[in-house]
Amino acid sequence: MSRLDTKYWVVDKKDEKLTTNPQIQEAALWINKNEVVAFPTETVYGLGANALSDEAIAKIYEAKGRPSDNPLIVHIAKESQLQSLVKSIPESAEKLMAAFWPGPLTIIFESNSTVSSKVTAGLSTVAIRMPDHPVALALIEAAGVPVAAPSANLSGKPSPTNAEHVLHDLQGRIAGIVDGGPTGVGVESTVIDCTSTPAIILRPGGITREEIEAVIGPVAVDKALTEKGQAPKSPGMKYTHYAPKAPLVIVLGSNTFMQNLIDKERQSGKKVGVLATEESKQRYKADVIVACGYREDLKTVARDLYDSLRAFDKEMVDIIFSEGFPRTGLGEAIMNRLEKAAGGHIIKE
């Protein structure tokens, strides 16, 4: 692809008149010209384009190097935009929207085919979310169209949680970047399919299963998330993802067990990285130790996860060992992302 002059707009997310902010206006203009613009959401940076235009959506897949059978999430700024994109709104979705929108929950609806068929990768359903970020909402509103956006990383890399990550992956490949500071949640939205009863969680994310069940009662979880060899219902879940350059191994066991693994690799001349937490970082001896938040507050682990994975690329380590996390609450999303990044490589004591 030809190299683009990527524009860079810095906006203050606390600005009270964001919709009329000249930087947002300019970024929106590029979306209206069917170009691709990266922007912050509360989860990760998104790579946005006009969801109604085949031409615009083709540019997202090209910029990311994303397989075209992996559908995109459509971002809206107002609930009134939803009616024009879907066949119907199930009761479970009504309740979830009331509880969690704007926020890190993506809901799958029956599509009425208004969005480009490239957005849905030919499926009859469409994924929609309303992000909880003033810059995202202002941009979508200023553009006046629903905005399809995957995470703004090169396909396979960790998702971007600040504008620098986006620049690193996509400078020269997209029309512009709106820098609204670091994102907060750090892992992507939860994807839930409300076209079946009970609703099915296809991807764990920023809203936990426990939070969802408190609103709509028991939900199902896509078997591919818990059993090996099952084809995922969410096409994106079948790819290796979020991966740093060096191989990553999740270690479930004691500090001593982990230290033995580290020592073996170092003895064979390898530069070894460890992904630990603030509580545990002092317990290891390795070449590079990255503390990813506080284990006792999984929100901080989710927030820092992708930045920590990207840090190992800069340090040029040969192998990375990561601690594991409990699979409840936000831990489900954290372990899901770590497992993808590790290509499923887990060592148990």
**Smaller CB separation from ligand TXA, 150 or 273:** 150
Q: Which one of Mg ion, ligand TXA, none is in contact with 126 (Cβ closer than 5 to 8 A by kind)?
A: ligand TXA
Phi first, then psi: give them for residue 55, nearest 5 degrees. -60, -45
Minimum distance from residue 348 beta carbon to Mg ion (Å): 28
**Smaller CB separation from ligand TXA, 23 or 41:** 41
Measure Cα distances from 343 to 14, 74, 94 in Å.
Answer: 39, 28, 36
Interaction site with Mg ion (CB under 5 A):
151
Minimum distance from residue 9 beta carbon to ligand TXA (Å): 17
Least Cα distance to 266 among 319, 316, 230 occurs for 319
Q: Which one of Mg ion, ligand TXA, none is in contact with 73 (Cβ closer than 5 to 8 A by kind)?
A: ligand TXA
Minimum distance from residue 139 beta carbon to ligand TXA (Å): 12
Minimum distance from residue 197 beta carbon to ligand TXA (Å): 16
- Any bridge partners for residue 127, and if so which? 73, 108
Q: Which one of ligand TXA, Mg ion, none is in contact with 23 (Cβ closer than 5 to 8 A by kind)?
A: none
Q: Which one of Mg ion, ligand TXA, none is in contact with 191 (Cβ closer than 5 to 8 A by kind)?
A: ligand TXA
Q: Which two tokens stand for residue 177?
A: 């970047």
Least Cα distance to 75 among 98, 46, 96 occurs for 46
Interaction site with ligand TXA (CB under 6 A):
41, 43-44, 46, 70-73, 104, 106, 108, 120, 123, 125-127, 131, 149-151, 188-189, 191, 202-203, 234-237
Minimum distance from residue 43 beta carbon to ligand TXA (Å): 3
Phi first, then psi: give them for residue 248, nearest 5 degrees. -115, 135
Name the residue with tokens 């009863």. 197
Give residue 19's region: left, alpha or beta (phi > 0; psi -120 to 50): alpha
3-class secondary structure, 261? helix
**Smaller CB separation from ligand TXA, 160 or 331:** 160
Minimum distance from residue 238 beta carbon to ligand TXA (Å): 8
**Type of residue at 226:** T
Phi first, then psi: give them for residue 311, nearest 5 degrees. -60, -35
Q: Which one of ligand TXA, Mg ion, none is in contact with 21 (Cβ closer than 5 to 8 A by kind)?
A: none
**Smaller CB separation from ligand TXA, 215 or 224:** 224
Minimum distance from residue 309 beta carbon to ligand TXA (Å): 15
User: CA 192 to CA 93: how far, in whole Å?
Assistant: 9
Contact 224, 237 (CB under 8 A): yes
Torsion, Cα of 16, 13, 82, 217 (10° steps): -110
Count Cα atoms within 13 angstroms, Cβ side, for 259: 9
Contact 89, 82 (CB under 8 A): yes
* Tally of residues, the chain: 349
Minimum distance from residue 24 beta carbon to ligand TXA (Å): 17
Nearest-5° angle of CA 48, CA 237, CA 173? 30
The residue nearest ligand TXA at its CB is 236
**Smaller CB separation from ligand TXA, 72 or 135:** 72
- Rg of the chain, C-alpha, whole Å: 20
**Smaller CB separation from Mg ion, 150 or 273:** 150
**Smaller CB separation from ligand TXA, 85 or 290:** 85
**Smaller CB separation from ligand TXA, 122 or 217:** 122
Minimum distance from residue 286 beta carbon to ligand TXA (Å): 31
Contact 179, 21 (CB under 8 A): no
**Smaller CB separation from ligand TXA, 109 or 321:** 109
Q: Which one of ligand TXA, Mg ion, none is in contact with 158 (Cβ closer than 5 to 8 A by kind)?
A: none
The residue nearest Mg ion at its CB is 151
Q: Which one of Mg ion, ligand TXA, none is in contact with 81 (Cβ closer than 5 to 8 A by kind)?
A: none
